Amino acid sequence: MNATATNNTESAAVLPIARKSNQWLDAKDIRNLLKQNLGLNSKQVSVSKGHSTQYMKLTVRDASVELAKVEAFARALDTWNMDVTDYVTGQSLTVETSEEVDAIHRAPFIAKVHELIALVPTMEDKAALILDDVCDGLRLWKDAGEVWFTRGERRRCYRRTRSLSEDWSVEALALDIARLSAL
């Protein structure tokens, strides 16, 4: 089963911009850079600010957009830093996805999550299921009543087993598997 989410580990090269380390980009600047570097418009990826322009958010609104490229773009522009005295400098850029994009990404995995949840009560503690049929290297782990999925060093879906059968949990697990599968 393949994830709908397109996400590879290529790094997005960002065209160099002339700015000082303490100069923050506003939403218009980031939109222009998205267009220049990735060819994305505001219908595909929106840009908004948090409580100030120090905290900017990129929201992917089109499921065909490669998440890895947007995340690499954000990392290239992110200058946020906190020192040992909790003094914060720089600008933070985070990447999120819209509900519509999440629904498209998790859809192929919903049925598989229901199958896996049915197996969890029968699993021994400290047991793992190999889920290479879902995604190479994906594992389901159970330990002391807690369940999570791993792929390589990445860990997602840390959930208590008592809430696994709830719809929100199934959707969250399916989306997390989609994100892990797309790595």
* pLDDT above 70 for 112: yes
Alpha helix locations (H) across the chain? 27-38, 67-77, 99-106, 110-119, 167-181
Q: What is the mean pLDDT of the chain?
A: 77
Confidence category of residue 39, pLDDT binned at 50, 70, 90: very high
Confidence at residue 30, expressed as pLDDT on a 0 to 100 scale:
92
Side by side, the strands of the sheet bearing 55-60 are 45-49, 55-60, 92-97
pTM: predicted TM-score of the whole model, two decimal places = 0.70
Confidence at residue 11, expressed as pLDDT on a 0 to 100 scale:
47
What token pair was written down for 143?
Answer: 């330990």
Q: Percent of the chain scored above 70 by pLDDT?
A: 75
* pLDDT above 50 for 165: yes
Give the residue-averaged pLDDT of 147-152. Answer: 72
Pick from 156, 154, 133: nearest CA to 146: 156
* pLDDT above 50 for 1: no
Give the residue-averaged pLDDT of 156-169. Answer: 58
Torsion angle of the four alpha carbons 175, 151, 72, 46, in this order, in degrees rounded to the nearest 10? 0
Cα separation values, 15 from 5, 57, 98, Å: 25, 20, 26
Confidence at residue 44, expressed as pLDDT on a 0 to 100 scale:
97
* pLDDT above 80 for 97: yes
Q: Are 65 and 45 in contact (CB under 8 A)?
A: yes
Confidence at residue 128, expressed as pLDDT on a 0 to 100 scale:
74
Q: H or E segment at 49? A: strand 45-49
